[in-house]
Amino acid sequence: MADRGEEGQLTTAGPLVGGRSDDNGRVPTPDPDLDELELIRRSGVALRTGKLCLSAGHGSYRVKAAMARVAHALGVDRHEAHVTLTEITATSHRGQSFRTEVAEVRTIGVNADRLAELERFTRGLDERRRAHAEPATVEGVSAELDRISAKPPLYPVLLNAAWAAIACAAFAFLNNGGPVEILAVLVAAGLGQAVRRILLHRGWNQFGVTMLAAAVASLAYLAIVGVLRLAGVTAVQHESGYLSAVLFLIPGFALVTAALDLAKLDFSAGIARLAYGLMIVTSAALVVWGVSATVGLQPHPVEPLALAPGALLALRLAASWLGVLGFALMFNSPCPMAIGAASIGMVANVGRLELIGLGMPIQAAAAAAALVVGLLAAVVGPRLDVPTITVSVPAVVIMVPGVTAYRAVYYLSTGETIRALDYGVQACLVVLALAIGLAVARMLTDRTWGLEH
């Protein structure tokens, strides 16, 4: 028999899923004794930990690790889980008893502060268990999970929108935009992110919200530029800012964690995350194409700004730092975590741009930059007492080729298949290169990645 709880959890009990077997291997009709009821409580807390991790944006391998730490700290002998983008199937074993539970997580997002809290908590439980300290209790673990889940976002709507605006404005400069484009992107991206944040927190469909936010940002950008032109400002390159205004919608966290899941051979989770990321990109890109087709814009590449080499390098450093900082804060990162990610991203992204300027293929430069990010994150993360993913992913997100992906969808929509394939393949190669760089860095710095168990 089965019942579905308030949060989408499905628990099944019966001969095929739970119970106590006799010496002949037969499983009679379940009649839980106190030991089995205790297993139910412990497995439920472990599953709740996994749901919190998954809804905060953790990759599947990290969700499994967190659940296993909690289960073992509570006295579960063995814990196994299958994790996808929105579902968890977990089995807990204790003695001859076992229990399998299924849970569904409908909220997909990123909360770096919650990720760090859960990582510190579960790691502490594991350290106490290994040190043979006082064992954890279900009540104690549940109370801490209550505190973590009840913690509100660090930044209100307006401040969260400001972080997105700063990140996209930095992108506008890196995409060869001038002061006018940067100003227009700053306002337009902020408005778009404010709309997205408000509607997502009210439970609206993610793909619908993505399309609406893209429309708001695109139309706001065009309106601001139109007003500036009426005021006599004519030095405007639409393309450098128009696409940058919607880059806050790029699901960089999902794309990077999808690639890492695939690198760990977790295909069900990796493919699901990849499909989710591509659907978000496509939803936003179709709206951008619709608006641009209406007003007659085409996303052609823009000529670089005429700046002295020293000034260009300094501005690239500043823009890269601000871009990563904005994205990290938009992901609800505490300030020390965001500053660490920004410092790593600044070094790696400017190095990537310099390598491209020297003639290195863009995918090779991306792989080298991601490798640097992964190695630096392995040093910075432990010193900040945060998961490495919370500093490595924001640092890599600024390198995700969002503009290239938007161009691919635009030309596909206009029937220019060859140009669409050109940009699409280029975007895929860069994302793959970023994943390879991060995966190699993990293999070099994390024993669980370097060895298969």
Q: Quick one: 258 and 273 in the same domain?
A: yes
The whole domain housing 204 covers 157-450
Q: Quick one: 109 and 176 in the same domain?
A: no
Residue where one domain finishes, among candidates 122, 150, 178 = 150
Task: Please tell me the predicted confidence (pLDDT) of residue 11.
Answer: 46
Task: Please tell me the predicted confidence (pLDDT) of residue 51.
Answer: 94
- Domains: count for the chain: 2
Q: What torsion do the CA atoms of 304, 305, 311, 313 make, to the nearest 10 degrees?
A: -20
Token pair 């699409």 in the structure block, residue: 424
157 neighbors 60 (Cβ within 8 angstroms): no
Q: Quick one: 65 and 211 in the same domain?
A: no
What tokens were used for 366? 């991306």
Whole-prediction pTM? 0.85
The residues near 186 (Cβ < 8 Å, ≥ 6 apart) are: 165, 166, 168, 169
Compute CA 211 distance to the chain's CA centroid, rounded to the nearest angstrom: 19
Q: Quick one: 126 and 214 in the same domain?
A: no
Q: Quick one: 102 and 251 in the same domain?
A: no
Q: Quick one: 133 and 163 in the same domain?
A: no
281 neighbors 250 (Cβ within 8 angstroms): yes
Q: Quick one: 102 and 196 in the same domain?
A: no
Q: Quick one: 301 and 326 in the same domain?
A: yes
The end-to-end CA distance of the chain, in Å, is: 35
Residue where one domain finishes, among candidates 150, 174, 202 = 150
Q: Quick one: 163 and 144 in the same domain?
A: no
Q: Quick one: 98 and 212 in the same domain?
A: no
Low-confidence ranges of the chain (pLDDT < 50): 1-21, 27, 29
Residue where one domain finishes, among candidates 97, 122, 150 = 150
Task: Please tell me the predicted confidence (pLDDT) of residue 239.
Answer: 61
Q: Quick one: 300 and 356 in the same domain?
A: yes
In one letter, which amino acid is 401? P
Q: What's the rounded Cα separation, in Å, for the pair 39 and 94? A: 7
What tokens were used for 64? 């499994």
Task: Please tell me the predicted confidence (pLDDT) of residue 2.
Answer: 37
Task: Please tell me the predicted confidence (pLDDT) of residue 60.
Answer: 87
Q: Quick one: 95 and 214 in the same domain?
A: no
Q: What's the rounded Cα separation, in Å, for the pair 86 and 408? A: 28
